[in-house]
Amino acid sequence: MDALRKKEIYTIDDIYALPDGERVELIDGRIYYMAPPSWKHQRISSYLHNEIYNYFKDNNGNCEVLAAPFAVFLNKDDMNYVEPDISVICDTSKLDS
């Protein structure tokens, strides 16, 4: 892992090469290590997930509400990868397998 920290530009292949359980995000080719969330963070995230889910359910919405970890590739490149706490997917054609 020290070899990865010395590189200046990283790609998704570097992320996949990390040990299982290593939580990181890749933004513009830079790796950002994430600390485990606190119980307070998880509690708030859970509450928000439920509220958003219930909103779509009660209003016949077609969006999916997903909790982390869920990989999101915002750009069509191999240098950006994030794991938002909550993802709202309204266009399922953007999802891959």
Express each pLDDT in 63-83 by its tens digit: 999 998 888 888 888 899 999
From the number of C-beta atoms within 10 Å of its C-beta (0-12, 13-18, 19+), residue 65 rates as buried
Question: What is the Cα 27 distance to its own chain's centre?
Answer: 12
Predicted confidence (pLDDT) per residue in 5-19, tens digit:
566 899 999 999 999
Supply the range of the domain harboring residue 13: 2-94
Question: Count of domains in the chain?
Answer: 1
Nearest to 15 by CA among 27, 58, 48: 27
pLDDT given for residue 3 in this prediction: 55
CATH value at residue 51: 3.90.1570.10
pLDDT given for residue 77 in this prediction: 87
Residues above pLDDT 70, as percent of the chain: 92
Q: What does residue 66 show for φ and ψ, rounded to 5 degrees?
A: -125, 140
